[in-house]
Structure 1
Amino acid sequence: MEHTGLRRRSIIKGSAWSAPVIVATAAMPAQAASPTNPDLGVLFDGGGGADGALNSVYVDLGVPATGTPMTLQAPLVMTLNVEGLLTAATDERAFTVSASLGSVSRGAYNVSTRTTTITWTLPAGTKLPKVSTASGVPDILFTFQDGGSKTTTGRIKNKIVITSVTGGTIVTPSSTPIDSSVVRDVNQGAVSPNGIY
């Protein structure tokens, strides 16, 4: 009888020690595949018109080309500035902005800095493939109208600067701020491959 009791206690001890190991092992792959603060990559995919004329640009978002596609576990918020490069102009160049996923809000135009701030929010559950210009990749489309200024001669040209990201870290092509006129467009064969629109 005494031998049986010891054996039961040994089995109970063994199962108590093994249960947490099984739970931890099951949770680890899900955490690794879906981090709450993932590394991200962006591409500026612009061109289609001369600088300061009718033009458009996509800002594509995903995991870096070397990363693994994943699902956001928390909302992601990207802040971008659309900056006018004609220093003599006090008016804002007309443009529209829309996102393939999530929501976009547009701030008021700041005359002194010639800047309009855009906030793009992607909800938890958004799937992030590898960053590319393919369809299905979350993106924002900026459509710029003719840049003729009402207050001075010359054309208003614009660049886009990604100033911050909350809920993720951009690691490619660089860390924030990311200036379209510095990193340029991925589509180098376009009319405006220089990241200025």
Structure 2
Amino acid sequence: MSSASLRSLYRGSKVASHSGFTLLEVLITLAIISILTVLVMVRYGSFNSAVLLKNQAFELALDLREAQVYAISVRGDGSEFREEYGIYVNQDSSNNQQYIFWQDSQSAPVPAYNAGEELATIPLDNRFYISEICYDSDVSSCQSASLLHISFARPNFDATLRLPGGSEASSARILISPVDDPSIYRSVYITSTGLITVE
């Protein structure tokens, strides 16, 4: 092989090793990465909101279960240990971002929350509110109520679901929704037999 052919071979490989991306290729790649980043950020916000809503519903369900356990486990101030424990929810706009964990101190024949019986006022995350209270039905044919007294008494796990006016329901749903989109919700379902679920 002559030295002239070696030089041409060397120059050809040298030119190929200096080639790179053109400006157009770099701009297209950056545009694709930017679009994907924006899509991920938008989806993350809605995913995060759904997770927080689910957690808020589970927190209410756990507080209901805690009231049930308090009633069964002989917690009380009196000598008979017959106090009922419960959760009070109100759909009124001034109270729909909280619920009350209460202990019935009056031992009335019809236990219901009365002012002064609060053990704790539990606020919802400020992004959510109690959008609806339904009873004795599924969500699609909801019979609405403005408030609900849920109480548990010894020795049963059964719940008493008391509506305005003192009537009782056999089941109820508490719907929690984001403040900015009431069409989205999670519901806490409770029956008079003591079943508590999040749907």
Bucket of the pairwise TM-score, normalised by the shorter protein: 0.3 to 0.5
- The structure with the greater share of residues assigned to helix is 2
Higher relative contact order (CA 8 A, sep 6+): 1
- The structure with the greater share of residues assigned to strand is 1
Normalised TM-score (structure 2): 0.33
